[in-house]
Amino acid sequence: MAKHEEAASRSLLIHAAQVLKAVLSFEYPADAVLSHHFREHREIGHRDRGFIAETVYGIVRRLRWLRRLVGEDARPRELVLAWLARGEGWPMRHFEGLASATERDWIAGIKSKELDEGTLAERADLPDWLAERLAATHDEAALIDLSHSLNRAAPLDLRVNVMKKDREAVLEAFKFNGIDAKPCPYSPQGIRLAGKPALQKHPLFLDGSFEVQDEGSQLLGYLVQPKRGELVVDFCAGAGGKTLQLGALMRSTGRLYAFDVAEKRLAKLKPRAARAGLSNVHPVLIAHERDAKVKRMVGKADRVLVDAPCSGLGTLRRNPDLKWRQTPESVAEMVVKQGAILESAARLVKPGGRLVYATCSLLTEENDNVVDAFLAAHPEFQLLNAAEVLAKQGITLDTGERLRLSPRTHDTDGFFAAVMERVATDA
């Protein structure tokens, strides 16, 4: 029995179809559409919200397969019913009282319908252009395997704030609270939860002892490897998840600048830094990567992290709508932006300093190509071996000279990172 079917009602299916219709316009991120709907309908309880969200995300993940089943022009309600029948495997008796007699006949037909094998992109539940790009670096079996891993929901990972607690203490507290948790396999600060418990009111969250952060994202902090007393820049800080990790690794010493172009995102960082017990974080709003505030720091930084804006295609477990919202054109625009940002950020690094370029993308053009073009234009930077940088910190993870993480192999989001050092020149 699917876990939500006993809770389903006519009104719940109506809500799911309404949300799905808004999501499938691909005008706004799916999580934003869901949040807006739940704000508008506060009468929907926690469990019902879970049903709606899981149904919508399931459909978006398997949209290509579902549309082959029910037709390209299927209405949102038909997609919802087909997903419950085939994706969740509901027996016919669970549709009584939820669907009309006509709909139940249609559902019975969908349940018995067989499809041919389909194209590689169809089997991978990916748009043609994306399957084609990934096929350049994956054989057919690996691509199908990767797509299946991207279609599974991500686990909930936490990062322990070493300023407040060690990992064992947090694990013990969770055990006492009946929360099923274990250490992450790679990150020394990581904890992976078996389910998705509500943690916003947990005492250890409220006192800043942990933050929600994917294990792959945590490993980027270890590639930066900031030291106490250094001047460090998080060049694309966003809401500051990685900034908080860097600040804790620095033990709240030195100066840690968090640059971003979005005032709303940076505003979220201040209370988070306070809760984490960090006094070395300095949020800086910039207009663009060539802002005067950036230029004032040229040649002064010991370490710079560029977690570049990207297609986000490595995060499809969390954001499955991205594979339908991104296009070859949007990726091409990203690549230009990534090159410009890396170019500007590199100028801040002093001789002997470290530059880390990272994305949550699986595409070569956003990853290796950007780094290769940068290194070709900047002989003053040399590549360091990412696996060796991690090994020196007790993290055994050899993905080659550049970090490459995928849900298929590592059960993390898809991350790429290259570690570079500015060498002292004779001039």
Q: How far apart are CA 247 and CA 143, in angstroms?
A: 37
Q: Residues in the chain, how many?
A: 427
- Cα dihedral sign for 336, 340, 345, 349? positive
Question: What is the bridge-based pairing of β-strands 156-160 and 190-193?
Answer: antiparallel
Question: Residue 8 gets which letter from DSSP?
Answer: -
Query: Strands 349-359, 301-307: parallel, antiparallel or unpaired by DSSP?
Result: parallel
Q: Which of 184, 236, 310, 360 is catalytic?
A: 360
Cα 88 from Cα 91, distance rounded (Å)? 9
Joined tokens for residue 144: 């199908």
Using alpha carbons, list the distances in angstroms from residue 183 to 167, 194, 238. Answer: 8, 11, 26
Number of neighbours of residue 74 by Cβ within 10 angstroms:
15
Paired tokens of 52? 């709606």
Q: Is 360 a catalytic residue?
A: yes
3-class SS of residue 105: helix
* Residues with catalytic function: 360
